[in-house]
Amino acid sequence: MKKTVLCALFSLAATALTAQTAEPVVMTVAGQPVTKSEFEYAYNKNASIAGAVEKKTVAEYAQMYLDYKLKVAAARAAHLDTLQSFRNEFMQYRDMQLTPFMVDQHYVDSLAHMVYQSTANQLQGKDMLRTAHILVMVRQGSSEEQFKQGRHKMDSILTLLRNGADFAEVARTTSDDRGTAGRGGELPWIGPGMTLQPYEEAAYALQPGEMSGLVKTDVGFHVIKMLERKQLAPFDSLRDEIYTALRQQGVENRSAEERIRRMVEASKGRLTREAVLDSVMQAATATDSDLKHLIGEYHDGLLFYEMCNRTVWGPVEADTAALEKQFADHRDRYTWEEPRYKGYLVTAKNKKALKAALKVLKKNIKGDWRRALRAEVNADSIVARISGPMLVKKGENRWVDALAFKADQPKNTHGYAYAKLYGKTLKKPAVFTDVRSQVIADVREREEKIWVEQLRKDIPHQIFPEVLATVKEQ
């Protein structure tokens, strides 16, 4: 009988809240309703995260979502939503989501036409050119001998090309323009006044498929291949391409900011930028529930993160004594499937430098061995390196593999052919720092569970099963 009465009361409460929100309510937390649409949005987005073993049922996810909302409620009770740092980050995200609603299409259209007309004016009826080139760089001010060497190199390249070598392949292997060499020497489309004058003149003299002779400019010697040339297409044919380029350059943001500026200016001091965007958000979220839930999710997510970090995550990570105790009390939980090398790796260009670097490391192991290495071994040139402290398993470092795990010595040592280890191989973790991330995760989980249990006692909350039962899965 008692259970029947309670169910009836919960049903009445859900009905009353639905009347207030004009939408079914799945749960309340600290007096705040969680609507069915908000819960469905979160459930269908998060209940089956990639990599999870299995998807949560609605009832299982409801308990997880309740814990999440309890932490958000605790953050609000602590007034974290009034912090300027929180407001700045949230407003930045919110404004980004609202930008599409504030774009002045007339502004964008005008700019697109302006870009097209500017290009047309610059072309002056000439073709647009798509070329590839090979560059032998010889800058102005170089010696006569350097010019002679550059000319000789370009002559050799021209001989290769005239004997049938592939232009793109020769560009990849010989061109000093490393920005284009990987693309076979290909440059963006150009028109009059958009490149060096000698290059432009030589390029306009070519037809598709033709190749120039040696072309000298202020940066060196070129050979040019004409890939394609064409007249500027009508605006309507290039509309999508121009708009895409403008969007990549942030035109929509500039357009939105300009529109907001005009609205603030027209209000003669009655509106601020924030007030304008508040109004836009209210209008946009009234008709776009996904946008409403997305912005709400980010708002609560910021609060959730900050509250967890202040209450559990940060304190646990800083509590070395608790972490050490966790490791000591549960050593059997922290194991490795294969050994690890723990310590330092010293590599050097010769035996003398190796011996000196090892001596520096041993003497300064608890101090600033990096500074000592620079002063005592690498003062004139870098002849030795020390890596560490490290904790690695087989396959993560070639020298460690050879010296600690009996693998073959590396073949390519880049001149550092001598190496020694200063440390030891462990079959299992020796101290908590050997498995720090695992220990932290376990202590966090324990402390967070205690915290949530307390939140469930302290913060009023209620789930309405009859509404929860109507939640739809996508």
The amino acid sitting at 387 is S
| Residue range 337-351: mean pLDDT, rounded | 96
pLDDT at 6 over 50: no
Instruction: Report strand pairing: 340-348 vs 418-426.
Output: antiparallel
| Residue range 410-437: mean pLDDT, rounded | 93
- DSSP β-bridge partners for residue 348: 384, 418
Classify 189 as helix, strand or coil: coil
Please state whether the predicted TM-score (pTM) of the whole model is above 0.95: no
pLDDT at 4 over 80: no
Per-residue pLDDT, 141: 86
| Dist. CA 457–CA 452, nearest whole Å | 9
Helix residue ranges, H only, 288-368: 289-308, 314-318, 320-329, 351-363
pLDDT above 70: percentage of residues in the chain? 94
Per-residue pLDDT, 104: 86
| Residue range 398-422: mean pLDDT, rounded | 92
Per-residue pLDDT, 411: 84
State the fold for domain 126-230: Chitinase A; domain 3 (3.10.50)
pLDDT at 268 over 90: no
- Comma-separated ranges of CATH 3.10.50.40 domains in the chain: 126-230
Helix, strand, coil in percent for the chain, rounding step 5:
60, 15, 25
Q: What is the mean pLDDT of the chain?
A: 91
| Dist. CA 231–CA 175, nearest whole Å | 29
Q: Which of 337, 338, 343 is nearest to 399 (CA)?
A: 343
Per-residue pLDDT, 414: 84
Classify 468 as helix, strand or coil: helix
Per-residue pLDDT, 49: 59
Tokens standing for 165?
């070598």
What sign results for the dihedral spanned by CA atoms 404, 410, 414, 419? Answer: positive
Q: What digits encode the pLDDT tens for the residues 216-237?
A: 999 999 999 999 999 999 999 9
| Residue range 424-430: mean pLDDT, rounded | 96
From residue 465, alpha-carbon distances to 23, 29, 58, 114, 165 in Å are: 15, 15, 10, 60, 75
Q: What digits encode the pLDDT tens for the residues 87-113?
A: 999 999 999 999 888 888 888 999 999
| Dist. CA 55–CA 64, nearest whole Å | 13
| Dist. CA 150–CA 176, nearest whole Å | 11
Sheet holding 384-392, edge to edge: 384-392, 340-348, 418-426
Per-residue pLDDT, 114: 94
| Dist. CA 102–CA 62, nearest whole Å | 36
Q: What is the dihedral of CA 453, 459, 464, 465, to 10 degrees?
A: 0
pLDDT at 193 over 70: yes
Q: What digits encode the pLDDT tens for the residues 47-89?
A: 655 445 468 899 999 999 999 999 999 999 999 999 999 999 9
Q: What digits encode the pLDDT tens for the residues 282-302?
A: 999 999 999 999 999 999 999
pLDDT confidence bin for 5, thresholds 50/70/90? very low
